[in-house]
Amino acid sequence: MSKQMVRMLIIVGIVFGLIFGFYGLKKILFLRYLLHYTPPPVTISASTAKTVTWQSYLSSVGTLVAINGVEITSEVAGIVKEIHFSSGQFVKKNDLLVLLDTRVENAQLKNDEAKLNLSQLNYNRNLTLAKKNVASQSTLDTTRAELLESQAALESTQARIQQKTIVAPFDGRIGIRLINIGEYVSAGTPMVSLQSLDPLYVQFNLPEQFLSLLYIGQPIDVIVNQRKNKVIKGTISAINSKVDQVTRNILVQGTISNQNMELYPGMFAAIKVWLKQQKNTVILPQTAISYSLHGDAVYIIKEEKDSSGKPILRAYRQYVKIGERREAEAAILDGIKAGDQVVTSGQLKLQNGTHVVIDNSVEL
């Protein structure tokens, strides 16, 4: 029994030794593999930081305003007799728009003309008699006063007729008519809108601290939604003579061209006021910047050599200070210099020192 027990223990020991040896060797080989494991390179896209001349500007929003724009109204009450325009029509200055009923005034005009003719004859007759010392000076003065009174009455009637003859005060486009033939309109009743469309004003406000940077003729860019973000060039044509006491803003007026008549008064506009200052600035695509609570950072790509001496690319995190942002680009104030190559996509897959491969075939 003693020899059999010893033999069994030896066999069991050999079996357990082989088992533990196998797992021990497996662990050693696995750790060795991890120590020498090199992860495959991460595919990213990259861009090179460059220096450009970056001109500063002020941003604002405003409204397009017609240089001349009015609501056509009548000075006096009356019945609409004739309408000489169509909605949306272009008219010239002094074109007849609306004629009110002037039958009463026309009859009064004939009466005033007759009285004026009679007063003129009486005055001429008394003037001849006065020269011959037949008529007195008082009689001549009376007839002269009657002549002047008749002239004033005639001019008054002509003025009333003119008030009922409504003409265009300037060139422009007529809006939608708000009256009908035969309708009675009182004084001040809106009849139609008339707007001069070319050129147009754009009015906007800027904080008072920028007042010293503004000047007449300063270039501006105007963007309206209708033009699908197409930039319209213009210049500053006027700066208000006072600052608003409530908002501390200054009202600024620019002038833009509207030759195609695509823009209308009242439209919303985004404005850029270009300043004189120009500076050389390092810029990067905004997609290259990673934002976090620890700070804004980019991944710089550096060329190194692996264990076999072959050149490889690695990405390293670099914190940067960001300045002004414009569309897809951002100004870098610190942390990057011109010529540095940075990662523009694939940052989520990167760690400090990750082996990378650049592939810019996919356009962002």
pLDDT per position as a tens digit, 170-197: 888 898 888 888 889 888 888 888 988 8
Does an H or E element contain 238, and which? strand 231-243
What pLDDT does 327 receive? 78
Contact 341, 48 (CB under 8 A): yes
pLDDT per position as a tens digit, 336-356: 888 888 988 888 888 888 888
Tell me what the pLDDT averaged over the chain comes to: 84
For residue 160, pLDDT beyond 70: yes
pLDDT per position as a tens digit, 87-112: 888 888 888 888 888 888 888 888 88
Q: What is the mean pLDDT of residues 82-86?
A: 86
Phi then psi for residue 266, to 5 deg, are 95, -10
Structural domains in the chain plus CATH codes: 42-54+280-358 (2.40.420.20), 58-67+197-276 (2.40.30.170), 70-101+172-195 (2.40.50.100), 104-163 (1.10.287)
Task: Give the burial string for 232-251 (b: 16+ CB within 10 Å, else e).
Answer: bebebbeeeeeeeeeeebbb
Q: What is the mean pLDDT of residues 286-315?
A: 84
Phi then psi for residue 155, to 5 deg, are -65, -35
For residue 84, pLDDT beyond 90: no
Report d(CA 53, CA 278) in Å as an integer: 6
Contact 144, 122 (CB under 8 A): no
What pLDDT does 135 receive? 67
What pLDDT does 204 receive? 94
pLDDT per position as a tens digit, 246-277: 999 999 999 998 888 888 888 889 999 988 87
Strand duo 231-243 + 78-83: pairing: unpaired
For residue 133, pLDDT beyond 90: no
Which residue's entry shows tokens 């008054």? 156
What pTM did the predictor assign?
A: 0.62
For residue 288, pLDDT beyond 80: yes
Q: What is the mean pLDDT of residues 213-235?
A: 84
What pLDDT does 251 receive? 94
Integer angstrom CA distances of residue 4 from 12, 17, 18, 314, 361: 12, 20, 21, 65, 75
Q: What is the mean pLDDT of residues 355-362?
A: 79
Strand duo 165-167 + 96-100: pairing: antiparallel
Share of the chain above pLDDT 70, in %: 95
